[in-house]
Amino acid sequence: MKVRLFRALPWVLATLVIAIGVHLALLYQIPGYVMEKALARVGPANTIVHGKRVDATARAIVRPSPELLYSTCPYDVSQRPLRITAEVPQGTYWSVSFFDDETNNFYVRNDRQVKGGHIDILLMAAAPLDKPLPKGAEIVHAPSLKGLVLFRTLINDDAQFAAIDAARRTADCAPY
Amino acid sequence: MRLWLKALLTIVSGLVLGVVLTWVTVRSMPGGVSDGPWRTSLTIGSSEANPWQRAAIALHGLFALNRSETIYYTASHDSGGQMLDGNCIYRLKGHEPDARWWSITAYGPDDYLMANKQNRYSVSKTGITRNADGTFTATLSKAAGPGNWIPIPERHFSLTMRLYNPAPGVVADPANAMVPQIVRVVCP
């Protein structure tokens, strides 16, 4: 019996090594894979998409909030920086957040943190810029070349839906 | 047993074990803290998340904000420790969470909103009817209920409670925040 166990030991150890290798490989691949699929579902790079009101048919992002209006801009700053602008809707919660290709939320500003009622952000890679920076724009360095810019606007009053929807549609993104 | 058969068995067993191990460790959010039936991750949206948390966030909470902006609590069990079941009736009751805005939303097993005739999915700070003492009560059930009601048309469901711009005390100690109880009223 002992001899049999001793003979089986290398195979058992090999099985465990393969299992741990597969586990770690999957673990490190999941965020990037899920992010890539999600970005492809959201829309073309460097283009803003103002999503419709969330209901049970929404399948772009897991666990969406039905009280929020989502506007998305998948970013790709490998060629040019991305300029992100928006007038901040008044009287409701609003935020703009950036996510890298590993799902990290590396930047967020909400309506109470924005000065002057509008944002002007230049999201860029580490590469030097071949033209002057836009005056007054906030510079944000992207930790990855691809990721997502996500705007959230709270529908805090159904009667004001049209006005809130119009206000959030001032958000835009375009290569600079 | 022949050598090639042993090698094949070892590789297949290793692959299967690796996949199962991954599924088990990321099917729910690892780590984090509990507050009654509610659980929250302390590293969601943060680069501090370990590989297990990062994978789980990608699968179940993609594009979640970091906790200084929003705290997300999830519940898959009631306050008695029983798994949530869409055939039962539940009462959410307690004080409102301390945040600029909050909501509690029901999701199906696929992590999406569950279709229902009324297009109702949640209760929130802006729409909730409060009791005289400032607390609130909401019903979770298949059949339509009066007042604050969230439909749960599917057998397996879970809840997410969002706290946008949570109070500093909640950010500092999310395990002791004011959160509603999830009480099982009746179960067939």
CB atoms within 10 A of CB A76: 17
pLDDT of residue A147: 96
Q: CB A22 to CB B6 under 8 A? A: no
Q: Mean pLDDT across the stretch A102-121? A: 93
Q: Cβ distance A110 to A93 under 8 Å?
A: yes
Is B120:B151 a contact under the CB 8 Å cutoff?
Answer: yes
Identify whether A53 is part of a domain.
yes
Neighbour tally for B117: CB within 10 Å:
8
ipTM: 0.86
Whether residue A163 is predicted with pLDDT greater than 70 in this model: the reply is: yes
Q: Please name the residue ranges forming H helices in chain B.
A: 3-26, 51-60, 168-172
Output the pLDDT for position A176.
92
The stretch A55-64 carries a mean pLDDT of 90
Mean pLDDT of chain A: 92
Q: Domain for residue A63, yes or no?
A: yes
Search chain A and give the residue with CA nearest B18. Answer: A19
Q: Which range of residues forms the domain containing residue A138?
A: 49-175
CA distance A129 to B154: 53
Residue A65, pLDDT > 70, answer yes
Q: Which chain B residue has its CA at the smallest distance from A34's CA? A: B58
The answer, for A103 touching chain B at a CB cutoff of 8 Å, is yes
Q: Which two tokens stand for residue B171?
A: 């950010």
Q: What percent of chain A has pLDDT over 70?
A: 99
Total count of domains within chain A: 1
Residue B29 pLDDT greater than 90, yes or no: no
Which residues from B are below 8 Å from A112, CB to CB?
165
**Rounded average pLDDT over B4-24:** 91
The pLDDT tens digits of the residues spanning B121-179 come to 999 999 899 999 999 999 999 998 889 999 998 889 999 999 999 999 999 999 999 99
- In three-state secondary structure terms, A1 is coil
Average pLDDT over residues B11-36: 86
pLDDT tens digits, residue range B83-97?
A: 999 999 999 999 999
CATH code, domain carrying A104: 2.60.40.1610
pLDDT, average across residues A81-104: 94
* Rounded Cα gap, residues B93 and A21, in angstroms: 46
DSSP-assigned letters across all residues of A20-63: HHHHHHHHHHHHHHHHHHHHHHH-STT--EEPPPP-TT--SSSS
- CA–CA separation, A83 and A101 (whole Å): 19
Distance (Å, whole) CA A137 – CA A129: 14
Examine residue A109 and state whether it is found in any structural domain, yes or no. Answer: yes
Note whether residue A153 is domain-resident.
yes
**Strand ranges across the sheet with B158-166:** B33-35, B38-40, B70-75, B158-166, B99-107, B122-124
**Does the residue A39 lie in any domain?**
no
HSE-CB for A120 with a 13 A CA cutoff = 7
Does residue B30 register a pLDDT over 70? no
Residue A106's pLDDT is: 93
The mean pLDDT of A49-60, rounded to a whole number, is 92
**Nearest-CA distance B81 → chain A (Å):** 23
The region of weakest confidence among B5-9, B56-60, B77-81, B101-105 is: B56-60
Domains of chain B, first to last: 31-186 (2.60.120.600)
A116 lies in some domain: yes
A156: which chain B residues are within 8 Å (Cβ-Cβ)?
A: 101, 126
- Sorting pLDDT into bands at 50, 70 and 90, what band is B24? confident
The backbone torsions φ and ψ at residue A32, rounded to the nearest 5 degrees and listed phi first, read -65, -40
Position A24 in a domain: no
Query: A-B interface: how many C-beta pairs under 8 angstroms?
Result: 157
CA torsion angle B23 A55 B123 A64 (round to 10): 40
Query: How does DSSP classify residue B65?
Result: P
Identify from A33, A65, A97 which residue to disrupt to test chain B contact, counting B C-beta atoms within 10 A and taking the largest count: A65
- Please check whether residue A30 lies inside any domain of the structure: no
Return d(Cα A94, Cα A76) in angstroms, integer.
24
CA distances from B28 to B13, B24, B56, B74, B78 (A): 24, 8, 6, 10, 16
Is residue A1 scored above 70 in pLDDT?
Answer: no
